Amino acid sequence: MTNEPCAPWPIAIDGPAASGKSSLGMALAERLGFLFLDTGLMYRAVTLAALEAGVPAEDAAMAEFAAGLDIRAEAGTTTRILLDGKDVTNRLREPAVEHRVSDYSALPSVRRAMVEAQRAIAQRGPAILAGRDVGTVVLPDAPVKLFLEASPEARAARRSLQARRWGMAQEAAEARRDIELRDRLDSTRETSPLRPAEDAVVIDTTDLTLEEVVRFALEVLGCS
């Protein structure tokens, strides 16, 4: 008897900053035995590399730079990112990256390079990809698309808690300002703006615990 995964794949999870995509993605990956790729970390790694090399957030300058970058995403039940063979995952939430990632990730040349790498990972086996454009651009044929939403207050409170865990304490008010700015930049950019795919199931996680969101997602997947 073959051990078929109970859920169809790939699974796309999109939504704004701190809406719970990674928490849901990691929890589902563990329950289903799938790979989890947090595509935001790939954009953060490009940003880190560009800032360190002094390459400006301009499409022409970034085209060659992004194509020549050695970025490897190791998708397990969590995602780790290797830049030139070195694990930089723990540096990707630093304020310098946080403040500039929306500028670099808006560039078409950067998106082309990353989307290609993301599709290749999604073809390796049962996978869950989380980001902003997974359901609309990266995997438009994904059989299941979830789009998470939550109020800016709830997201800022979560991000402030997470930031403490990452060793980068941030008050909720400051987290909210950062989140609102990134929401605006990610939703209004020309290439692949943040929006739900037409066939996405939208989940408002404002008043739900992670366990409740996971249970609902498993129902949508037909795995409850």
- In this structure, the chain runs to a length of 224
Specify whether the CB–CB gap between 168 and 107 falls below 8 A: no
**Nearest-angstrom CA–CA distance, 92 and 95:** 9
By CB under 6 A, which span of 66-74, 132-140, 154-162, 169-177 interacts with ligand DC?
132-140
- Asked if 40 touches ligand DC (CB under 6 A), the answer is yes
Specify whether the CB–CB gap between 93 and 168 falls below 8 A: yes
Q: How far is the CB of 134 from ligand DC (least distance, A)?
A: 6
Among 127, 128, 132, 159, binds ligand DC (CB under 6 A): 132
Cβ neighbours of 144 (radius 10 Å): 20
Q: How far is the CB of 70 from ligand DC (least distance, A)?
A: 19
Binding mask 81-120 for ligand DC (x = CB under 6 A): --------------------xx--x---------------
Measuring CA to CA, which residue among 28, 14, 19 is closest to residue 197?
Answer: 14
Question: What is the amino acid identity at position 68?
Answer: G
- Asked if 183 touches ligand DC (CB under 6 A), the answer is no
**33 vs 152, beta carbon nearer ligand DC:** 152
Start-to-end CA span in the chain (Å) = 21
- Asked if 155 touches ligand DC (CB under 6 A), the answer is no
Measuring CA to CA, which residue among 91, 76, 99 is closest to residue 167?
Answer: 91
- Asked if 160 touches ligand DC (CB under 6 A), the answer is no
Among 9, 44, 142, 163, binds ligand DC (CB under 6 A): 44
Binding site for ligand DC (CB under 6 A): 17, 39-40, 43-44, 101-102, 105, 131-134, 182, 186
